[in-house]
Structure 1
Amino acid sequence: MNKQVQLNKIKEDFILSQKVLSAIGDETRQSILLVLMGTDCETGMRVGEITNQTHLSRPAVSHHLKILREAGIILMRKEGTKNFYYINVRTELGLLKTLVGDIEKFMDDFYR
């Protein structure tokens, strides 16, 4: 694959990854993700539990959870009136793996 084709592929990877990069680039959302990673994926956590562990306000947690959900990084499960949030194991974070892999290949091919 020539240099320009690889650069175009990396550009496409960046475009596809923008929502995920934006979502995980925020320190507050990173702390929420770390809290969610510490729980059972099938059980998940409620907003109040996340609030207690992150020391953020309930509205702040809800706002950041919405962004993480829209980026496909977390999912929500309803049980009656209760919402449980958990990491999406088939997450859009895989886009980042592709992006990094393509950048590594480009660097290997043209700079070594």
Structure 2
Amino acid sequence: MDKQDQLQMIKEDFINCQKVLLAIGDETRQSILLVLLGTDCQTGLRVGEITEQTHLSRPAVSHHLKILREAGVILMRKEGTKNYYYINVRTELGLLSKLVLDIDKYMQDFY
């Protein structure tokens, strides 16, 4: 694959990652993600538990969870009337790995 093809692939990677990059670029959402990363990925946490650990208001946590869900970074599981939030490690965040790997591969020729 020549350099132009590699650059085109990186451009497509950036386009595919836009929602994820915007969602995780916010400091508040990063703190929520760190809390979620510190839990069992399959169990997840409820809004109240995230609120306690981040010291954010419940409406703020709900707002940021919505953005993270829309970007595909986290998922929600319902149990009766309870909602549990957890990291979606297998899909959208995987796009970031591809972006970084493609950039690294491109840059190897410059080292």
After TM superposition, the score normalised by the length of structure 1 is: 0.94
Whole-angstrom CA distance in 2 between matches of 1:36 and 1:49: 10
Structure 2 residue identity aligned to 1:104: D
Give RMSD over aligned pairs: 1.0
Whole-angstrom CA distance in 2 between matches of 1:15 and 1:41: 27
Once the 2 structures are TM-superposed, how far is the Cα of residue 78 of structure 1 from its aligned partner? 0.6
Once the 2 structures are TM-superposed, how far is the Cα of residue 28 of structure 1 from its aligned partner? 0.4
Q: What residue is the counterpart of 1:31 in the other structure? A: 31
Alignment of 1:1-112 (within 5 A): 1-109=1-109, 111-112=110-111
Whole-angstrom CA distance in 1 between matches of 2:88 and 2:7: 29
**Percent of aligned pairs with the same residue?**
81
Once the 2 structures are TM-superposed, how far is the Cα of residue 89 of structure 1 from its aligned partner? 2.8
Deviation per residue, 1:67-102 (Å, 9 max, x gap) = 111111111011111111011131311111111111
Structure 2 residue identity aligned to 1:83: N
Q: Secondary structure at the match of 1:93?
A: helix
Whole-angstrom CA distance in 1 between matches of 2:91 and 2:11: 21
* Structure 1 gap ranges (5+): none
Q: Does the 8 Å contact 1:13/1:98 carry over to 2?
A: yes
Structure 1 residue identity aligned to 2:90: R
Deviation per residue, 1:41-87 (Å, 9 max, x gap) = 12111101100110101111001001111111111011111111011
For this pair of structures, how many residues does the alignment match?
111
Structure 1 residue identity aligned to 2:104: E
Structure 2 residue identity aligned to 1:102: D
